[in-house]
Amino acid sequence: MTKNDMVLRIAKEMDMRQTDIKRIVQMTLDGVIDVLASEQRLELRNFGVFEVRVRKPRKARNPRTGQEVMVPERKVVTFKPGKMMEDKICNPSAQTDGGAM
């Protein structure tokens, strides 16, 4: 599913214009990026936790030449799903309490 597919689905379900929904979705995603850039962590109850972590520098090998190279430290975004998401994905036939994410 793409962002546009999600916009179409939400617009149809909410009986709203696609342009309005697209703006809301984009603002939400921009907000996630802004929070991660400044605070390094975003917790959305029943959905999951996004967190910025630092990968240590390490040695690696160039697969073509076999030469050893140093890979510098870098930041990566990790995601740990919440219990409701995990339950729904791992056991899709199980009924959840139907609460909003």
Tell me, yes or no, if the pTM score tops 0.85: no
If one counts the domains in the chain, the total is 2
Same domain, 8 and 49: no
- In the chain, % helix, strand, coil (3-state, to 5) comes to 40, 30, 30
Question: Does the residue 101 lie in any domain?
Answer: no
Q: Is the Cβ–Cβ distance between 37 and 29 less than 8 Å?
A: no
Q: Is the Cβ–Cβ distance between 55 and 78 less than 8 Å?
A: no
Question: Does the residue 100 lie in any domain?
Answer: no
Task: Report pLDDT digits (tens) over 51-99.
Answer: 999 999 999 999 999 999 999 999 999 999 999 999 999 887 765 555 5
Using the predicted structure, report yes or no on whether residue 31 has a pLDDT greater than 70: yes
Q: Count, in order, helices (H) and strands (E) of the chain.
A: 3, 5
Same domain, 60 and 86: yes
Question: Does the residue 71 lie in any domain?
Answer: yes
Residue 84's domain spans which residues? 43-95
